Amino acid sequence: MSFFVQEVEVSINDFMAKVAANDKFSGLYISTYGGGGQQHHQEHQQQQQQQLQHEQQQEGLQQIRNGSVEVDYNNLDACIAYADSVAKCGRVCESLDLYAQCFRMGPLPADCLWHVTSAFLDLIRQQFDDDPQTIPNPSSPSLQSQQQLQHQQHNNHQYHTYTHVHHHHNTRHDHQQHQQSCPFVCCVCNLVLREPVTLLCGHTCCRRCGGGTACKPIVCNKCGVRTPFQPHVDVLVKSLVEKLWPVQLRASELLDEGKALYRQDKIHSALIKFNQAYYTGGENYDLLNVRSRTLLKLGLHENALLDAVRVVQIKPKWSKGHFTRGMALFSLKRYQEALLEFSLSAVLGENNQKLKSQINEVLQRLLTIYCNETEDLDLEGWNPISHSYLRSYLNTFINRSNVFDKSSNSLKVKSIIKESTFMKKQLCEISTLTELIQHIFVEIMQTKHYTSSVLINNTLNVDTSLLDESDFNCVLCCGMLRNPVTTPCGHTYCLDCLEHNFDYSFHCPLCLTSLPPSLALSKKNTSEFVNELISCKYTKNSLMQTINWKPEPEQDSTYLPVFVCTNAFPSVSCPLHVFEPRYRLMIRRCIESGTRRFAMISNCCPPMKFAEFGTVLEIKDRIMMGNGCSFLSTIGTRRFKVLVRKEHDGYDMATVQYIEDEKVPSKKLSELYKLHDDVRQRGLTWFHSFRSEIKSEILRTVGFPPSTEPNWEELSDGPAWTWWLLSLLPLGQNAHVDLLANTSIEVRLKVINKILSRIERSSLSLRITSSSL
Amino acid sequence: MSVLPRRILKETQRLMQEPVPGISAQPDEGNARYFHVKVTGPEDSPFEGGLFKLELFLPEDYPMSAPKVRFITKIYHPNIDRLGRICLDILKDKWSPALQIRTVLLSIQALLSAPNPDDPLANDVAELWKVNEIEAIRNAKEWTRMYATEN
């Protein structure tokens, strides 16, 4: 520091004491900033102190103005210290006023503005994060028309040098539609997909954009779903991108080559690459941004600015773009606009030392310029009091209160906002930093309410004539991909095909990569890219007619999948362990189609694969095991006779005819009632004669004996308890089939009766034998 | 009685339209899952000049399970036994549903070019192949001439 430091005069001892107190407080402020659990408490304290301090400072300031305290403005140290203290309290404008006084004595180095820079950044970030209610309605007609006007201005005047003009969109509505309608670009960078990887959620991004590592999951930029593995390049998407957008891919490669040269500081060669990329694939924000920085390094500031302006136009909420534009403006000595761009960059997320020092620099230049140009102005001319409404406007921001409600000067504020939307051309008319900052606030809020991360020119057109059916073939079914899903190893199959593959093994069919069962069995999302591309090429009808897509089979209650295993009975539960791949497929289809029904038939009649009679089982519950097997709780419903046998994807199908009991003639009813009651009594006695552990085993498997229905003689399968008892009786499978086929309740009761008496006799003889031993 | 999956139809179609050189596969008239296969002995192998008949059957759960393939023509080969059964990993544990009839037959053709006596199915043949390759090859040529040549 080369300036001369004068001695402190006694007359401002009091003032300096205040400064010292202020500094102490500022230390506290710094130390609590971003602190831990004590922060809240300290913040409270801080607020109180701030209040106190504020009053003291106001008083001090007032005293200075009134001339009651004589401040020696030649005492730089005191002034800077006071300005810093004010800055640390977050009173940026005041601090800048004070600095302006310092600067009037001669330019100061940027270093000494560090505190006010920090305060400025805090202020604008806080402003940006504040409640959106304090903002003028962004869709208000006046604002919108102004925006359009601005756009037109941009298009007409600033970009005429671009030969490669893409369609510009003037309204936000268009932007939004555009953003939603391109599923073919990377979901992170919004550019053509390089080394595409498809995430668990079905969205695709460039591998390097995904940014995950072995231990850090990739979080999808579109939907936020986490992908807990590092996916391999999506082979299908990669080949489709190469087929459809070779030019854009080439441009993207050139861009990468150029970036590599730029990093090696081969600026000229880099620029050549960037220009090649530009003339190959047209403009995109990434290219323009890096080209702008390159041009800047080469001293071509105007050209750099043109590129940077376009970047911001394409991607208005991109902090890096604003930073680049700020750098270009800075180089052109357009400091006011540079400060605005740096501020936007800061609020949009950029947070690095480079940005901060740039802001620091800009403030220094601005102060220098303002002070030199306004030398004839006296202190009163700089006094923010003369802009009292601005001051109150800013203070309301600082106090986080609602500016546009009830505020007595709301009209004035609104008019300022209106005026300042034309700010860009009027910037030269801004003569004070306070006005500039006020303008920056308005711009920040407008940017915030610009439709979220709007992008133009990010659509890739699909030339469907480049595509044919073979591009979308599933290697497993040889048909058009239906619900395409992509494995972590980057291979795409129909959802059904892949799931069925997992019934057999947890390997990718194409590369034989072992996939963890947990992943294989988890819910899979279809690939948005492939799905959308298929629907670009084919309508649903053409898919059904020309390609193999069969409409979902109509649900026919007499055409059933068959589980060949055992005999099941009406109303009796039948627990099943499903482990064979074909039955896993069958059960999955049963559940997915919503029918939840299948035929259970025993395999007791060789050479026929399954018997002629069986029972329909309804799935009550399914418990999936980690290996793809499952446990089913089912209950028997109706009996049937098999009419036609077929095969489908490895399991059997049957056309069936349902069978019901014949009606009992009323004259036989009383006899039947008696038989029924006897047999039931006998059956229950037999059941109760079991040892308790056997009984509990029975209860666990087939449940409690069903009670007698009041109208059992009218039921199509007779009373439930007869089937329950039949499932326990020691009968062969053939006998069970015969009983299922039988349509007379009387006959079945008699059979049960006969078996029970045989059991009773044998157990009696058993008892006699055992007692005689 | 079952509906033929599209995959089998497609594969059959392609086998007919774009046959693999040296391999022919014809579906049986009565059973679309059963194929009559003919493979010519590869050049520069002891099986050169021979035409080998095979049968190939696609099981119910093809392509999830491998096709069943067997040599009908007698062949002197360390990985093929006297019943014509073939020791080839992709027909067993290394099967993948992405493989096709075409690729299976190509693999079998390659197996004829490169016998692997270290993973034998016909032990006597493999033993001779290891101990005295010249004699083994002579035998293979002799068998090819005897069993795999038309006249």
Q: Dump the DSSP string for A624-683.
A: E-TTS-EEEEEEEEEEEEEEEEEEETTEEEEEEEEE-PPPPPHHHHHHHHHHHHHHHHHH
Of A238, A236, A218, nearest to A228 by C-alpha is A218
Q: Is the pLDDT of residue A37 over 70?
A: no
Residue A571: count other Cβ atoms within 10 Å of its Cβ.
Answer: 20
Chain B residue nearest residue A475, CA to CA: B98
Q: Which residues pair with A431 in a beta bridge?
A: none
Q: Judge whether A503 is closer than 8 Å to chain B, CB to CB.
A: yes
What stretches of A530-662 adopt beta strand conformation (E)? 559-565, 576-578, 597-602, 613-624, 630-648, 651-659
Interchain proximity B64–A475, CB inside 8 Å: no
Chain A residue nearest residue B94, CA to CA: A512
Window 482-501 of A: residues touching B by CB (8 A cutoff) are: 500-501
Q: What is the mean pLDDT of residues A178-184?
A: 65
Per-residue pLDDT at A399? 38
Q: Where do we find the tokens 């006084």?
A: A101
Confidence category of residue A485, pLDDT binned at 50, 70, 90: very high
What is the spatial distance between Cα A572 and Cα A720, in angstroms, rounded to a whole number?
8
Size of interface A-B (CB pairs under 8 A): 51
Confidence category of residue A46, pLDDT binned at 50, 70, 90: low
Question: Which residue among A477, A645, A650 sits closest to B61, beta carbon to beta carbon?
Answer: A650
Q: Which residues pair with A206 in a beta bridge?
A: A196
Per-residue pLDDT at A372? 67
Q: Is the pLDDT of residue A422 over 50?
A: no
B60 chain-A contacts, CB cut-off 8 A: 582, 647, 650
pLDDT single digits (tens) A66-79? 544 445 555 777 77
A453 vs A268, which has greater pLDDT?
A268
Chain A residue nearest residue B12, CA to CA: A478
Q: Is the pLDDT of residue A765 over 70?
A: no
Per-residue pLDDT at B75? 92
What is the spatial distance between Cα A212 and Cα A215, in angstroms, rounded to a whole number?
8
Q: Which residues pair with A493 in a beta bridge?
A: A485
Selected residue of A236, A474, A478, A493 to mutate for chain B interface (largest B Cβ count, 10 A): A478
Chain B residue nearest residue A582, CA to CA: B61
Q: Is the pLDDT of residue B117 over 80?
A: yes
Q: Which residues pair with A600 in a beta bridge?
A: A563, A615
B61 chain-A contacts, CB cut-off 8 A: 504, 581-582, 649-650
Q: What is the mean pLDDT of residues A432-453?
A: 72
Cβ proximity of A632 and A621 under 8 Å: yes
What is the spatial distance between Cα A491 and Cα A656, in angstroms, rounded to a whole number?
40
- Nearest-neighbour CA in chain A from B17: distance (Å): 16
| Distances in whole angstroms, Cα of residue A543 to Cα of each of A90, A472, A536, B11 | 64, 12, 12, 20
Interchain proximity A581–B64, CB inside 8 Å: yes
What is the per-residue DSSP string for A346-395? HHTT---HHHHHHHHHHHHHHHHHHHHHTTT--HHHH-GGGGHHHHHHHH
- How, if at all, do strands A597-602 and A559-565 pair? parallel
A570 vs A86, which has greater pLDDT?
A570
Window 564-593 of A: residues touching B by CB (8 A cutoff) are: 581-582
Q: Specify which of A44-48, A215-219, B65-69 reaches the highest per-range mean pLDDT.
A: B65-69
Per-residue pLDDT at A151? 41
Q: Specify which of A34-48, A94-108, A426-440, A494-508 reaches the highest per-range mean pLDDT.
A: A494-508
Question: Which residue among B2, B61, B63 sits closest to A581, beta carbon to beta carbon?
Answer: B61
Confidence category of residue A22, pLDDT binned at 50, 70, 90: very low
Average pLDDT of chain A, as a whole number: 74
Instruction: Provide CB contacts within 8 A for A419, sequence distance 6+.
Output: A426
Q: Is the pLDDT of residue A494 over 80?
A: yes
Q: Judge whether A649 is closer than 8 Å to chain B, CB to CB.
A: yes
Instruction: Provide CB contacts within 8 A for B52, sequence distance 6+.
Output: B38, B39, B40, B41, B71, B72, B73, B75, B112, B148
Q: Judge whether A718 is closer than 8 Å to chain B, CB to CB.
A: no
Question: Which residue among B5, B64, B98 sits closest to A510, beta carbon to beta carbon?
Answer: B98
- Nearest-neighbour CA in chain B from A628: distance (Å): 15
Q: Specify which of A221-230, A446-455, A488-497 reaches the highest per-range mean pLDDT.
A: A488-497
Q: What is the mean pLDDT of residues B102-118?
A: 91
Q: What is the mean pLDDT of residues A693-707?
A: 86
Confidence category of residue A174, pLDDT binned at 50, 70, 90: very low
Confidence category of residue B97, pLDDT binned at 50, 70, 90: very high
Q: Is the pLDDT of residue A489 over 80?
A: yes
| Distances in whole angstroms, Cα of residue B68 to Cα of each of A236, A552, A697, A772, B101 | 31, 32, 44, 61, 10
Cβ proximity of A278 and A287 under 8 Å: yes
Cβ proximity of A472 and A527 under 8 Å: no
Q: Which of A410-414, A690-694, A747-751 has the lowest mean pLDDT?
A: A410-414
Interchain proximity B96–A479, CB inside 8 Å: no
Selected residue of A235, A475, A506, A547 to mutate for chain B interface (largest B Cβ count, 10 A): A475
Per-residue pLDDT at A642? 93
Give me the count of residues in chain B. Answer: 151
Interchain proximity A648–B97, CB inside 8 Å: no
Q: What is the mean pLDDT of residues A692-706?
A: 86
What is the spatial distance between Cα B120 and Cα B104, in angstroms, rounded to a whole number?
19
- Nearest-neighbour CA in chain A from B8: distance (Å): 9
Question: Which residue among B2, B6, B97 sits closest to A646, beta carbon to beta carbon?
Answer: B2
Per-residue pLDDT at A456? 56
Q: Is the pLDDT of residue B148 over 60?
A: yes
Please provide residue A169's backbone torsions phi and psi, each rounded to the nearest 5 degrees: -115, 130
In the residue annotation, B117 being an active-site residue is answered as: no
Q: Specify which of A32-46, A249-263, A327-341, A540-554 reaches the highest per-range mean pLDDT.
A: A249-263
Selected residue of B2, B62, B92, B101 to mutate for chain A interface (largest A Cβ count, 10 A): B2
Q: Angle at Cα A219 formed by Cα A215 and Cα A221, nearest 5°?
A: 150
Selected residue of A235, A502, A504, A514 to mutate for chain B interface (largest B Cβ count, 10 A): A504
What percentage of chain A carries pLDDT values higher than 70?
Answer: 71
Question: Which residue among B2, B11, B97 sits closest to A501, beta carbon to beta carbon?
Answer: B97
What percentage of chain B carries pLDDT values higher than 90?
Answer: 57
Per-residue pLDDT at A81? 80
Instruction: Provide CB contacts within 8 A for A307, sequence distance 6+.
Output: A288, A289, A291, A292, A295, A324, A328
What percentage of chain A carries pLDDT values higher than 90?
Answer: 16
- Nearest-neighbour CA in chain A from B96: distance (Å): 5
**Given B75, B87, B105, B111, which residue is catalytic?**
B87
Per-residue pLDDT at B110? 93
Under DSSP, is residue B34 helix (H, G, I), strand (E, B) or coil? strand
Cβ proximity of A381 and A387 under 8 Å: no
What is the spatial distance between Cα A721 and Cα B14, in angstroms, rounded to a whole number?
58
Per-residue pLDDT at A227? 85
A214 vs A268, which has greater pLDDT?
A268
What is the spatial distance between Cα A46 and Cα A30, in angstroms, rounded to a whole number?
11
Question: Which residue among B11, B65, B98 sits closest to A509, beta carbon to beta carbon?
Answer: B98
Per-residue pLDDT at A455? 55
Q: What is the mean pLDDT of residues A669-692?
A: 88
Q: Judge whether A478 is closer than 8 Å to chain B, CB to CB.
A: yes
Of A326, A355, A387, A336, nearest to A117 by C-alpha is A355
Which H/E stretch holds residue A770? helix A745-772
Please name the amino acid found at residue A640.
Answer: F
Interchain proximity B96–A648, CB inside 8 Å: no
Instruction: Provide CB contacts within 8 A for A648, sequence distance 6+.
Output: A561, B2, B3
Per-residue pLDDT at A354? 84
Confidence category of residue B102, pLDDT binned at 50, 70, 90: very high
Per-residue pLDDT at A59? 58
pLDDT single digits (tens) A612-648? 999 999 999 998 887 888 899 999 999 999 999 888 8
Q: Which of A297-301, A365-369, A737-741 has the lowest mean pLDDT?
A: A365-369
What is the spatial distance between Cα B68 and Cα B60, in angstroms, rounded to a whole number?
11
Per-residue pLDDT at A54? 56
Per-residue pLDDT at B151? 57
Confidence category of residue A405, pLDDT binned at 50, 70, 90: very low
A6 vs A107, which has greater pLDDT?
A107
What stretches of A34-192 adopt beta strand conformation (E)? none
ipTM, interface predicted TM-score of the complex = 0.85
Of A321, A341, A319, nearest to A330 by C-alpha is A341
pLDDT single digits (tens) A519-566? 777 778 899 999 888 888 887 766 665 555 554 555 678 889 999 999
What is the spatial distance between Cα A586 and Cα A590, in angstroms, rounded to a whole number?
6
Interchain proximity B60–A475, CB inside 8 Å: no
Q: Is the pLDDT of residue A8 over 70?
A: no
Interchain proximity A548–B6, CB inside 8 Å: yes
* Domains of chain B, CATH where assigned: 6-148 (3.10.110.10)
Q: What is the mean pLDDT of residues B22-41?
A: 92
Spell out a b/e string for A739-755, using b for 16 or more CB atoms within 10 Å of the CB, else e: bbebeebbebbebbeeb
pLDDT single digits (tens) B57-89? 999 888 989 999 999 999 999 999 889 999 999
Q: Judge whether A469 is closer than 8 Å to chain B, CB to CB.
A: no
Residues of B with CB under 8 A from a CB of A: 1-3, 5-7, 10-11, 60-61, 63-65, 94, 96-98
Interchain proximity A504–B98, CB inside 8 Å: no
Residue A448: count other Cβ atoms within 10 Å of its Cβ.
Answer: 19
What is the spatial distance between Cα A737 and Cα A259, in angstroms, rounded to a whole number?
77
Which H/E stretch holds residue A142? helix A141-153
